[in-house]
Each structure stands twice: as C-alpha cells, then as structure tokens.
Amino acid sequence: MISSLQNTYLRLINQTNYEKHRYLYDKFDLSNKLTGIVGARGTGKTTLMLQYIKEQIKDLKSVLYVSVDHIYFNNVRLFDFVQEAYETENISIFFLDEIHKYKNWNQELKNIYDAFPSIKVVFSGSSSIDLIKGTYDLTRRGVIHKLKGLSFREYLNFTTKKNISPFTYDELMKNYQDISFELSKISKIKGHFNDYLKYGYYPYIFEGNEFFNQKLMNTVNKTIYEDISNFFKLKTENLNFFFKILYFLATIPPGNINTHNLSNNLGIDDKTTRNYVNILNETGLVTLIFSNKKGGSLIRKPEKIFIDNTSLYYTLCEEIGKEINVGTVRELFFINALNNSGRKVFYRKKAGDFNCGNVDYEIGGKNKTKQQIKTNLKNSFIVKDDVLISSKNVIPLYLFGFLY
C-alpha cells in the first residue's frame, strides 16, 4: 500500500504548477523536526506543502505526502505507517495533511518525534480548534505556523503578475501618503480591490469565480458538519445554530451585536451562545472584537461579533438573498487585514470606530469627516474606501491590504 500512496503523491506533485506563493512560503523550512501549519479550510495549506516539496526538495523519493483522511489509515496506525515507510523505502520526510481527522494524532506525532531522530514531519489541518488544543505537548518540540486567507497584496500579485512586497504597519503609518501615491499608479487597482472584496480571500478564486460561492459554502458546510461536529460530538440539530449565527450576522449592521443580544435572537442561553461563537471564531468563520478596556473587563466577553472576511460575507448574503451593506464590507476588510498581519484591533465607544495601538480609526466612504473622532488629531485617522491617494490623516482603505 505504501507504493500506492507514493504514486498518488508523485501524481499530485506533477500536477502542482502554481507560479505564485502564499506569504508563508518564504518563512517555511525544514529546520525543525516537527512543523505544523494551522489554518481555516480553503486557505491553501495543501498547495503550499506540495509547492514546497516540488520546488525545495531535490530528492522526491526521500519524501512522502499523504492526506491522513485516506481510507488506508482506517486500519493502520500513523506510527506504524511512518515506521514501515522509513524502514522499507528510506523515506525521512513526511508531509501529513488533514492530520486533525486522525484520532490521537498529537500523541502519535509525539511518539514518532521521540522514536525516529532522523525523521522530519510537517503536518497540517483545516480545523484550528483541533490543532491548537492538541499542540499542548508539541509546541516545545516543533514550530506551528498559522496560514490566513489571501491579503489584497497577494491577490493583486496573483492576478496582475506583479511582485509587490508587503510593508509593516509602522511603515504604513509613517509613509501612508508616499505609499498610496506609488500604489495608485497600478492600472485598475480600484477594480481589483472591489473584486478582491467579493472573491479574493480564498485561493480557489484562481480556479475561476463562476462557482466561487458554491465552493465557499461547501467549505462552510464541511467546517461545521465535519470539523466542529466531530470534535465536539454535537448533534445535527445543534449544528444548525452555527448556520443561524452566521446568517444572522450577515443581516445586521456592522458589528451591531454581542453574545447576549445574539442569544436572545437564537432562543438559547448566553453560555451556549458564547461557546458556539468561540468555536466559529477558532475555525475562522467569525471574528471577535473586544473593547480596549483594561484588566478583567477585557477578557469577559467580546464587544462585537463580525463575519471573518468580506468574501465570506458576500457569499452568505448571496445564499440568503440579503443586500450587501457597504459599511459592513469596509469594516470587515479593515479588521481582517490588521488582525491577519498580527495587530490587535479593539472597539472604541467614545472615539472613532476602532483602535489599534495608540491610534483611533473611523471607517467610511469618501465623504466621511473627522467629526466622530474626538481624540488628538495626531493619533486619529479617517480610513476611506473610495479614494486612491492619501491626504493628511486620511488613509485609503485598500492600503491595509498590503500588510502581509
């Protein structure tokens, strides 16, 4: 059976012809014996692994890529599989995809790590809840990477064949006027940005956008009916609440809900609602925004709940026949771009919409003014999505898409 798995692996490698790489590709290497890639479904983990094998490993026979949800592993322990491949085929590098679907995966990876000093293992999984909660005994042995969805920069590079590098948050805040002047020269950049908001967060857009919404809803269904269901052993009738939460969030003004209000609308208790919302957050379907208060108030409950990204929001609205709220799209993009670049975004009640570090932001269209921002002008900015070039304390929304 090992030979059959090898044939499948080589066939996949031969069919991997993507020219562009995700942002994580350049940070990824095999310097550690154990390396994990964690991310929501549909973000490109499998492609990244296959690209790396094809382009960075000279001896393809020393490597074996397998998806651990293969029927072969219904009757064969992961440890025994690795041992046989190592002893009979001299395979020393294993790429194990969909690892979270294998029972006791973290225990067996630990055993493999301890038993085979010369073997290196790269594992990935689509359900971050399993991987994060299962890595308690692996973090000191290996490195865990988190793969987010496509940034606008990546999408632009993929679609225009450009090679634009990211800039840091600090670089943006210092040079936003010069940066916007240079990026505004890109042909049809506003049109590209609008397309990105609709389709650009998930890499399978490059397979065509004709069935994009269908593919994304299939991803949502698998996340809920497979990942969440299997890990939490929830009944089907309980799983329906996850869809209700997503659809409800898609029908309300931007962030205009918290867990207490949500539980009232769903007809379930606050504790259950908070648990369901946290699960959706961990699987990459919603984002939680907290108030920038100090101390214990910061950890009690989220202030606002958002759909995770604009592409998911567009698809959910299409699914339920809901008209798009432009304000929601703007805020989702802003939050998602900053969070994915490693910055923390907080909700502001008294000044602006959001806070990041010591800066307050108000999000809007080209006619948005500074009236709602009451803090020091030096640390307050208007973020507008209908402008291409910055002015004093005004930053075009699309610039935040170049942070990773």
Average pLDDT of 191-203? Answer: 97
Side chain identity at residue 250, one-letter code: A
- In this structure, CATH architecture of domain 2-146: 3-Layer(aba) Sandwich (3.40)
Q: Which of 6-10, 81-85, 198-202, 376-380 has the lowest mean pLDDT?
A: 376-380
Compute φ and ψ for 97, nearest 5 degrees.
-90, 155
CB 341 within 8 A of CB 322: no
Predicted confidence at residue 379, as pLDDT, reads 85
Average pLDDT of 213-220? Answer: 96
Spell out a b/e string for 176-206, using b for 16 or more CB atoms within 10 Å of the CB, else e.
beebbeebbeeeebeebbebbbbbbbbbbbb
Q: pLDDT digits over 285-329, tens only? A: 999 998 876 555 545 567 789 999 999 999 999 999 999 999 999
The CA distance from 44 to 150, in Å, is 9
**pLDDT band at residue 29 using 50, 70 and 90 as cut-offs:** very high
Quick one: tokens of 199? Answer: 């389709």
The CA distance from 326 to 314, in Å, is 11
The CA distance from 373 to 381, in Å, is 8
Predicted confidence at residue 326, as pLDDT, reads 95
pTM above 0.75, yes or no: yes
Distances in whole angstroms, Cα of residue 163 to Cα of each of 19, 20, 402: 12, 9, 12
Quick one: CA torsion of 28, 30, 36, 42, rounded to 10 degrees? 50
CB 310 within 8 A of CB 333: yes
Report the run of H or E that residue 143 belongs to, with start and end.
Answer: strand 143-146
Predicted confidence at residue 52, as pLDDT, reads 96
Predicted confidence at residue 359, as pLDDT, reads 92
Mark residue 295 as left, alpha or beta (left: phi above 0; alpha: psi -120 to 50; beta: remaining). Answer: left
Angle between helices 236-249 and 259-266 (to 10 degrees): 120
To the nearest whole number, what is the mean pLDDT of the chain? Answer: 90
Confidence check: pLDDT of 214 > 80:
yes
Predicted confidence at residue 135, as pLDDT, reads 67
Predicted confidence at residue 398, as pLDDT, reads 98
Q: pLDDT digits over 354-373, tens only? A: 999 889 999 998 777 666 55
Quick one: tokens of 378? Answer: 């030096």
Average pLDDT of 183-190? Answer: 96
Quick one: tokens of 162? Answer: 């450009």
Confidence check: pLDDT of 250 > 90:
yes
Residue ranges, comma separated, of all CATH 3.40.50.300 domains in the chain are 2-146
The CA distance from 378 to 380, in Å, is 6
Average pLDDT of 214-233? Answer: 92
Predicted confidence at residue 199, as pLDDT, reads 96
Compute φ and ψ for 203, nearest 5 degrees.
-60, -25
Predicted confidence at residue 275, as pLDDT, reads 93
- How is the beta sheet containing 143-146 ordered, strand by strand? 63-67, 93-97, 120-125, 34-38, 143-146
Confidence check: pLDDT of 338 > 60:
yes
Average pLDDT of 266-276? Answer: 92
Kind of pairing, strands 346-347 and 354-356? antiparallel
Average pLDDT of 179-188? Answer: 97
Count of residues making up the chain: 404
Considering only CA atoms, which of 309, 311, 306 is closest in space to residue 195?
311
Mark residue 390 as left, alpha or beta (left: phi above 0; alpha: psi -120 to 50; beta: remaining). Answer: beta
Confidence check: pLDDT of 48 > 90:
yes
Average pLDDT of 190-209? Answer: 93
Predicted confidence at residue 208, as pLDDT, reads 81
Question: In this predicted model, which residue has the larger pLDDT, 391 or 130?
Answer: 391
Kind of pairing, strands 143-146 and 286-291? unpaired
Q: pLDDT digits over 105-161, tens only? A: 989 999 999 999 999 999 998 766 666 666 666 777 889 999 999 999 999 999 998
Dump the DSSP string for 14-47: HT----S--TTGGG--S-SSEEEEE--TTSSHHH
Q: pLDDT digits over 67-97, tens only? A: 999 999 999 999 999 999 999 999 999 999 9
